[in-house]
Amino acid sequence: MLTNPRKPAIFLDRDGTLIHEKHYLHRPEEVEFFAEAAPALKRLSDAGFALVVVTNQSGVGRGYFTEADVDRVHAHIRDEMARDGVEFLKFYSAFEAPDQPSRGRKPSPQFLWDARDTFNLDLSASYMVGDKRIDLEAGWNAGVKGSFLVRTGYGAELERTEGSSLNPGIVVDGWQQVADWILNSIPNR
């Protein structure tokens, strides 16, 4: 019997990474994409990577907005990115505030493991992309091949303040460099 080959994935943070960081964003009309995101994600998708969003949305746990608000934002993101041929496998959201028990709040690797188990993903060939240390750590904790820090969102400030302590994170300007780095590292392409 043949088994399906496991697929690699790009796990990505939402705020400050896929869309501009806005304080407790919770309305679709507030969504503003980084221009590099769609073309880069399309290239990665075409190369065989599944795309999985992993986001901490503590505004729900803090009572600022609801899970339904988050769902509406994610439906909007799906619709907009689909116009550019980008499809996300799933959005994983941790709704808890930092002081509340949470199964998947980053830096927990739990949602990456859930995605691996649900969609038969190969974490050892996958990458995490985000603008905070917790994003990189979620990737490292899960056992991905590499974690990228983008200089968008909080990334540039983090690079200034923490510098070399971000190793072995791969620090890049944005999505174009992420896609170039990953696709150039794949042999025979």
Q: Is 15 in the site for Mg ion (CB under 5 A)?
A: yes
- Here the tokens at position 28 are 């679709």
Residue with tokens 């490292």: 140
Among 11, 12, 16, 142, binds Mg ion (CB under 5 A): 16
Q: Is 7 left (phi over 0), alpha (psi -120 to 50) or beta?
A: beta
Using the rule CB under 5 A, give the single segment among 23-31, 123-131, 139-147, 165-173 that binds Mg ion.
123-131
Closer to Mg ion by Cβ: residue 6 or 61: 61
> Catalytic residue at 13?
yes
Using the rule CB under 5 A, give the single segment among 7-15, 84-92, 97-105, 111-119 that binds Mg ion.
7-15
Sign of CA dihedral 155, 168, 56, 120: positive
In sequence order, the β-bridge partners of residue 15 are 19
Closer to Mg ion by Cβ: residue 15 or 69: 15
CB of 154 to Mg ion, least distance (A): 6
Q: Nearest residue to Mg ion, using CB?
A: 16
> Catalytic residue at 71?
no
**C-alpha span between 151 and 160 (Å, rounded):** 10
The alpha carbon of 122 is separated from its chain's Cα centroid by a whole number of angstroms, namely 16
Using the rule CB under 5 A, give the single segment among 4-12, 59-67, 96-104, 147-155 that binds Mg ion.
147-155
Measured at the CA of 67, the angle between CA 34 and CA 132, to 5 degrees, comes to: 40
Site of interaction with Mg ion (CB under 5 A):
13, 15-16, 131, 153
Would you name the residues annotated as active-site residues?
Answer: 13, 15
